[in-house]
């Protein structure tokens, strides 16, 4: 019996082996393009455009900088790339990830390691940095939940934690066409890479 195909062809022409990804097969344009077309919240958001993982990633990096202004640029880049594997595996809501179990996490970790190495980051982030990025991610999730996904503030606080009013006061979710989300993501990536 023939083995199932475990690679995906990217628009750049690269073949990404999902079971054994290598940094050589990672291109930021592929990541940005894929993330711009992956909808957060399974697309269950208000507005004329889906809220993409690319938009979310740019916001998480912005929040990370706001929360931790003295962290080096490399960790800002890690924040921008925190959901990068989703360009090929999609954005699954937490209940689905739990149902799939450890196989999803293993796939995510392999892809993350290859992406990190490709852009000069350690394959595994320090635990303290992962926690800080997760905090920024939860702030973003709270904002998304309350502003575009139909959750009340109290519901969002139960799920994502109480938010600092100073941190969230000026943060607004803006829905944009995928091409604009892709451009914003690649622009921020280029800015961070140029500062490393």
Is pLDDT of 35 > 90? yes
Is pLDDT of 5 > 90? no
Q: Is 89 left (phi over 0), alpha (psi -120 to 50) or beta?
A: alpha
How far CA 103 is from CA of 9, 92, 107, 179, in Å, comes to 22, 13, 6, 32
Contact 112, 84 (CB under 8 A): yes
Percent of the chain with pLDDT over 90: 88
Residue 106 lies in a domain: yes
Residue 2 lies in a domain: no
Q: What is the pLDDT of residue 188?
A: 98
Residue 80 lies in a domain: yes
Q: H-helix or E-strand containing 114? A: helix 102-118
Q: What is the pLDDT of residue 73?
A: 98
Q: What is the pLDDT of residue 2?
A: 65
| Residue 81, domain CATH | 1.10.3210.10
Contact 89, 111 (CB under 8 A): yes
Mean of the per-residue pLDDT values for the chain? 95
Residue 4 lies in a domain: no
Domain carrying residue 69: 26-194
Residue 150 lies in a domain: yes
14 φ, ψ (degrees, to nearest 5):
-70, 150
Mean pLDDT of 37-45: 95
Q: What is the pLDDT of residues 81-112, one digit of tens each?
A: 999 999 999 988 777 888 888 888 899 999 99
Is pLDDT of 131 > 80? yes
Number of domains observed in the structure of the chain: 1
Residue 154 lies in a domain: yes
Residue 168 lies in a domain: yes
Mean pLDDT of 15-26: 95
Residue 159 lies in a domain: yes
Mean pLDDT of 163-183: 96
């Amino acid at each position: 019996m023939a083995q199932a195909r475990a690679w995906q062809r990217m628009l750049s022409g690269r073949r990404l082996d999902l079971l054994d990804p290598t940094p050589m097969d990672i291109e930021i344009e592929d990541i940005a393009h894929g993330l711009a077309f992956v909808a957060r919240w399974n697309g269950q958001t208000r507005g004329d455009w889906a809220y993409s993982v690319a938009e979310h990633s740019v916001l998480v990096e912005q929040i990370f900088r706001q929360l931790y202004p003295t962290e080096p640029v490399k960790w800002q880049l890690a924040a921008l790339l925190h959901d990068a594997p989703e360009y090929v595996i999609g954005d699954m809501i937490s209940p689905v990830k739990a149902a799939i179990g450890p196989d999803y996490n293993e796939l995510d970790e392999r892809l993350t390691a290859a992406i990190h190495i490709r852009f000069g980051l350690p394959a595994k982030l320090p635990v303290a940095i992962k926690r800080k990025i997760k905090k920024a991610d939860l702030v973003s999730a709270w904002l998304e939940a309350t502003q575009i996904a139909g959750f009340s503030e109290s519901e969002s606080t139960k799920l994502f934690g109480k938010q600092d009013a100073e941190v969230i006061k000026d943060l607004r979710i803006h829905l944009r066409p995928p091409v604009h989300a892709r451009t914003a993501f690649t622009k921020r990536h280029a800015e961070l890479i140029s500062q490393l």
